[in-house]
Amino acid sequence: MAEETTNSLLNFDIEFDDDEFKSDLPTVDNPTLESILNESEDYESPAEDDTSSVISAVQPFKDSGDTTSLSSSDSNRTDRSSRSRQKKKIDIQKTIHGSVLKPNRLKNIAAQLLSAADRVDAGMPTSMAISSLIAIGTSHGLVLVFDPKQVLKWCLGSTAVGQQYGSVSALSFNKDCTRLLSGFAKGQITMWDLTNGKLLRTITDAHPPGSAVLHVKFTDSPVLAVCSDSGGSVFELEMKRLIGVRTCESKCLFSGSRGEVCVVEPLHMNLTIKDHPMQDVMVVAMATLSKVLVVTLRPQLKVVFTHPLKGNPTCLPLLAWHFVVIQVSERDRVIDPVLVFARESTIYFFQVICNNAQDIKCSGLQKITVPYKMLSVAWMNPRVLVTMDTNEKLHVIDVRSEEELEVLDVSSVQLVYNNSHFKSLATGGNVSQALAMAGEEACYQTVVSQNGQLFLLGTKGVYVYTLRNWRERIDVLVKQNKYNEALALALSFYDGRAKAVIGLTASSKNKKEVVSSLMLDLLFEYVDLSMTTLCPEKGKMEELEAYYQNIVPVCVDYCLHLSRTDILFGRIYDRFAVDYIARGTFLECLEPYILCDKLRSIPPSVMKDLVEHYQAKNMLEGVESCIVHLEITSLDIHQVVNLCWSHGLYDAIIYVYNKGMHDYTTPLEELLGILQQAVRTEIQLTDEQIRLGNKLLVYISCCLAGRAYPLGDIPEDMEADVKKNVFQCITRMKIKAEDPTYPYLRTLLQFDTREFLNVLALAFEEKEFNTEEGIRNRQRVVDILLQVMVESGEFTPTQIGVLFTFLARQMASHENTILVNRVLFEQVLEFLANPEDDSRHEERQQALMELLQAGGLQQVNEEKLLSMAENAKFFRVCELLYEKRRQFDKILSCYLRDPSRKYHAFSYITSILNSERFSVEEQEKLKEEAFNQLEELVSIDCKQAAQMVISTMPKNLGVIANKMKSNPKVLFEFLKGVMSCRDSGGSAIHTDKQVNIDPWIIELYVDLMCQFRPQEVYNYIKLNEGYRLEQTLEICRRHKNSEATAYLLEKAGDIQGAFGIILTNLQNKLKALTNELLSPESEKDVTVQFLEVQALILVVIQLCQRNSGKMDEAGRESLWFPLLETVMSPQRKLKDLNNKQIQEDFKKATHHVLNSMMGYIALPTILHKIMQDPAYSTGKFGEVRELILGMLETYNYEQTLMETCKNLMNHDIHVHLKNLTTAAKKGYVPAGDNCSLCTKQFVNQNETDTVIIFRCGHSYHKGCLQSIGSVHVIDGEDSWVCFLCSHRKRGQYQSTRFHRSHSNRGQPKGKDITVDPQHSQALDFVKSFLKTPSRMSLLSELSSSSAPKSHRGSSSIFNQENFQLKLAPPPAMESAP
């Protein structure tokens, strides 16, 4: 609960920094704010556009005390954004606001309210006013006035007055707190003298009777006030005293008939602001449910501003005034009143600009949208706004940034609401429904802001909320042991990022000193607690390390931010050093700050501990990374050098020598010596040695370019000497007498020739090598390179090629300054292109390629070079030379001869033929070469070769096929690719991409497939078209491909021929299987053979099923019975076999054949055939029991099925005929007595006139229908259609039902009803309604009862495998209308 205090809380003076105003406020006349704010006179409010961005509107609001300029504020934001992007362990820039509002309960006032309620029956509190005094009205008409020390000063009124006037609904002090106005629920207003507690006036006629006083407000004038009532009207009250008589004159400012005013708020001038142009102007803001108005009362009544205000009907408008310091320019600021008005979830800020009493206007500054509905809005100071939502939560908002600083729940206050006054219950509730709905949660009189304090009137007391000063906000977090948040909040005060800062009014430097001192104290306390109270007493080492890893970065971050490394490495480090784990964690946490250059200097003692700790934990790479980022003065040179040499920390060695001793050659010599020893061993270098060599190359490159290693630049006064010394070091001729010449240069070349020559190439671009002496040094290096690499014979062809490539490039870029004997290039060429040397072929070719591209062989004859490349099989070199000659066909031969690149030949051909950069002649030559090399291309990839031919030479397909007949295997692969391209390229949609192939080529492909892939022929001819049947059949017969032959015979219509071939194959396989089973010596597993037999049986069955429907009974028996005989014959031979499993498998196969043929062969015929077979004719009945029972079950099922279908159809026909008969007998009633077309009545008609009446009720003259064509001839009879219905519902057929002729009215001449056309139409309707194919098919079959019955013809629906009975009741026919 909020803190309770008895101290005086009412400090009502606005705090301004006078020194700041003296220096910053302009001394000239008030500026024209239109020009300053770049706003025109007819400024359009940003509030009218809900989507408009008002970011810039924040900028005019500047703090009235300790603020920086706008530009510095922007820079702070930029700095913060850049800092927030830096990678840190602890984000010390996170936004922490802490507890901003300090709650207090006025205990003495609460006690007095309770006492007054008990003793004098004062009732519950209803309203409140705050100034230098506190006034509280009650429900029984009393007003209690308290001084700032919560002492009851006056008890005004009595319960008798309360009974007459009702509860106190509004209160207001005048400017000097000598007068108090109180409004009542029944409409009366009283004025009290607070110097003596006497009643001065009772005003009963200020507004129309019967309405409650909602607001009564003094202006700055002691004799002028405004009030509003529950009727929505606003009145001006002017107090007068004539001849000792006190009177009050009332004038209506705003009539409630134009919209009820809900709130009135006059502007009160700030006494500390002198000579403001608005001192002589009285301004009042008022708000209805739809708009806000600002009017001036004095010197004249005038509306100066209106603004629409939208919101939920249950939300009241809110108003609040405050004087705010507004930044006009970088140096100038002004103080102007700012009106805040809000409704529901939107807050608007408008500045009132007053040049003089006649020139006042309002300028929109800002709009804030909040995610809740507001009950109240109040200023705490020029920078902070407080809102209350419908859940009774206070929201503290920083105006400039629109950031919510704190949310505080005040539901425990039990806030008093004024809804009874808005409903005017005391006067009978005569208010508008809109005002009553909006005022349900009205709290204008119970939430009051005064001089930075917010007062809430609860049912049992008064609560005040003030902004905590900056120290209090930090202390609150410290008391909660939230040191991280407390430090972050303190840092925001230090950086000037904090919001709602109170009590920190000094210069920027002094503020930082004060906050810095507090932050250090917090750090010390935090570290002490972390090492004692907060530290886990027990735990694993990993847990303790994780604990300290959360503590140490906090200390490091804040010490670095405060630039107090002396504290970090002094008192704080000493405190952590007491514990071994804490000390190690502290040292390890320094590494990220060192690597990002935030920490550049460490005391030598701490650095020594850091090195020892990392050395003990074998984390020396981390030490090396840290050393190169630290200032050399913080290092113990002796310790670091010894450590680095003993553990190979090469970067640290170079850094220490360079920075500490300004020695750039000693580390180079020492490290080159280590690398030299490693290279001389002629074994594979380790990763560590390779890393050393790479570091040396980078170091040499940096030194020769004038850059420091690993970062930075060499001092200018040392740059020339460093370059000279390093160059002399690497080109030194002798180190020791036994060493070869130029040992360092030789070592670097042997380590990585290409990269070292790249280092030299970069160095040669420096200005030192372009002087006269530099040119001589460059030539000297070239001579040394030639001497070391060419003459020694220690280097590989690749390395020599790299050298001469380097030389060729240097000669091209430094023309006439580098001299190399051209004979050497020819010698290198002969060496690289030696055809007798097969070693390192690819290396030599690559070296020659680079040398050629660098221009090092320009003096060599091109023909000679091409010949040497051909002999050496340097096909890429040949390609380069042929490309210069534009002999692209020759390049194709290079691709085909190069084993590693022959697969790229197709992409090369495609790129040449599809490009417009090549002439037609060049493309034709390439085509011819590809045609000549087609067999080679096919052997590489038949599909790509075929794709190439189809896309580039489709008309030559036949020629190519004839040419390749001499090599059938290659031709087969080529045609296979052609067929694959045809299948993947074309489709029914993209017919333009289809490939048309002559039939003879397809037949040739089938012929070749029969030779090389006979097992694929059947599937191919089955899935493809385009071949000629007779020729293909001849090919398959010639190659004895039985499956394909049978398929083609079946396709040709020779069913018996196809059946015979497959049956012969089946008989052969069965014979082989039988012999294998009967062989006494055979132990072979016949499972695979039997599976092949089963597969072949399925093929034959499918053949018979496909064709049985096209044949008569004799033809069907000629297919099925031979098949049955073939399957049953092995069983006769095997009936004495002991292998029961085989016999069961054969019987299953027989059952499958029988089940398949039952749909095509009569059951008695099948049974007769079975019983004649010896395998089933002998023995017991049990052997054939299953077979016979299965046949009988099938017969019973089909008989039942037939009977059920007949019954269903009979029932359906009966139901439909009954419905049709009922409809036909139904009478026809015309809808009117006139024709629906000509509208003439059916009276006085001739006997010959015919009237046609339809079921729908429309009736027509027969002649009218004939004239518009509403008649159709069906089966020789006229069928009439209702014109209106047929046009209204297209597709529905309306036929005539009744014709009548009139001789006179009321005596129609009857005409016989013809039923047959209706029956015909009804039958059509039945057919269209019953769309289930089973019933209609059954009807068709059953209707032809006189037709001769056949055994299960193919046309019968009972033969369909998916036939199912739909035994649902028939749908009811709709009764005819």
Antiparallel, parallel or unpaired: β 1271-1274 and 1277-1280: antiparallel
DSSP helix, strand, coil percent of the chain (3-state; round to 5) = 50, 15, 35
Contact (Cβ atoms closer than 8 angstroms) between residue 183 and residue 216: yes
What pLDDT score was predicted for residue 812? 63
1339 to each of 610, 891, 1325, how far by Cα in Å? Answer: 102, 78, 15
Angle at 145 (CA atoms; ends 141, 149), nearest 5 degrees: 150
Spatial CB neighbours of 195, under 8 Å, sequence gap ≥ 6 = 178
What pLDDT score was predicted for residue 70? 30
Q: 3-class DSSP state for residue 250?
A: strand
First-last CA distance in the chain: 81
Pull the structure tokens for residue 692.
Answer: 């050393």
Closest CA to 625 of 670, 591, 671: 591
What pLDDT score was predicted for residue 1304? 39
Cis peptide upstream of residue 710 (ω within 30 degrees of 0): yes
Q: What single letter denotes the amino acid at residue 986?
A: G
Q: How far apart are CA 1004 and CA 1026, in angstroms?
A: 12
1020 to each of 984, 991, 1061, how far by Cα in Å? Answer: 15, 22, 19
Count of CA atoms in the C-beta half-sphere (13 A) of 62: 28
Q: Which helix (H) or strand (E) holds 447?
A: strand 447-450
What pLDDT score was predicted for residue 1263? 83
Contact (Cβ atoms closer than 8 angstroms) between residue 1065 and residue 1049: no
Angle at 1332 (CA atoms; ends 1330, 1333), nearest 5 degrees: 120
Q: What is the DSSP string of 772-832?
A: HHHHHHHHHHHHHHHHHHTTT--S-HHHHHHHHHHHHHHHHHSTTT----HHHHHHHHHHH
Taking each helix axis from N to C end, the angle separating 1087-1108 and 1140-1157, rounded to the nearest 10 degrees, works out to 10
Any idea what DSSP says for residue 713?
B
What pLDDT score was predicted for residue 898? 81
pLDDT in tens, 983-1021: 776 554 555 556 677 788 888 888 888 888 888 888 888
Q: How far apart are CA 1016 and CA 839, in angstroms?
A: 46
Strand order of the sheet with strand 179-184? 168-173, 179-184, 189-193, 198-203
Q: How far apart are CA 205 and CA 247, in angstroms?
A: 11
- Neighbour-count burial for 927-957, b at 16+ CB within 10 Å, e otherwise: bebbbebbbbbbbbbbbbbbbbbbebbeeeb
Q: How far apart are CA 878 and CA 894, in angstroms?
A: 7
Contact (Cβ atoms closer than 8 angstroms) between residue 1370 and residue 1215: yes
Q: How far apart are CA 1149 and CA 1151, in angstroms?
A: 5
Closest CA to 336 of 348, 347, 325: 325
pLDDT in tens, 771-800: 888 888 888 888 888 888 877 777 887 787
pTM score of the predicted model: 0.56
Q: How far apart are CA 1163 and CA 754, in angstroms?
A: 92
For residue 124, the Cα-to-chain-centroid distance in whole angstroms is 57
Pull the structure tokens for residue 455.
Answer: 């007062």
Any idea what DSSP says for residue 493?
H
Q: Which helix (H) or strand (E) holds 485?
A: helix 483-495
Q: How far apart are CA 194 and CA 145, in angstroms?
A: 9
Closest CA to 1131 of 1158, 1105, 1153, 1155: 1153
Give a three-class secondary structure readout of 1272-1301: EEECCEEEECCHHHHHHCCCCCCCEEEEEE
How buried is 1065 (Cβ within 10 angstroms: 0-12 exposed, 13-18 middle, 19+ buried)? middle
Angle at 53 (CA atoms; ends 48, 54), nearest 5 degrees: 85
What's the sign of the alpha-carbon dihedral 322, 327, 328, 333?
positive
Contact (Cβ atoms closer than 8 angstroms) between residue 1191 and residue 1166: yes
What pLDDT score was predicted for residue 816? 59
What pLDDT score was predicted for residue 4? 39
Residue that the structure tokens 């005094």 belong to: 133
Contact (Cβ atoms closer than 8 angstroms) between residue 499 and residue 402: no
1295 Ramachandran zone, left/alpha/beta (phi>0; psi -120 to 50): beta
Count of CA atoms in the C-beta half-sphere (13 A) of 651: 19
422 to each of 225, 442, 444, 483, 908, how far by Cα in Å? Answer: 20, 8, 11, 49, 91
H helix runs in 570-686, sequence order: 573-577, 580-595, 604-616, 620-627, 637-647, 650-655, 661, 666-680
Spatial CB neighbours of 1262, under 8 Å, sequence gap ≥ 6 = 1249, 1250, 1251, 1252, 1299
Contact (Cβ atoms closer than 8 angstroms) between residue 341 and residue 285: yes
Closest CA to 349 of 359, 360, 335, 363: 363
pLDDT in tens, 521-579: 999 998 888 888 878 776 678 888 888 888 888 899 889 888 888 888 899 888 888 88
In this prediction, the residues of the chain whose per-residue pLDDT falls under 50 are: 1-90, 988, 1290-1315, 1329-1377
H helix runs in 1135-1181, sequence order: 1140-1157, 1163-1171, 1174-1177
Antiparallel, parallel or unpaired: β 1250-1254 and 1259-1261: antiparallel
List 337's β-bridge partners, or say none.
Answer: 323
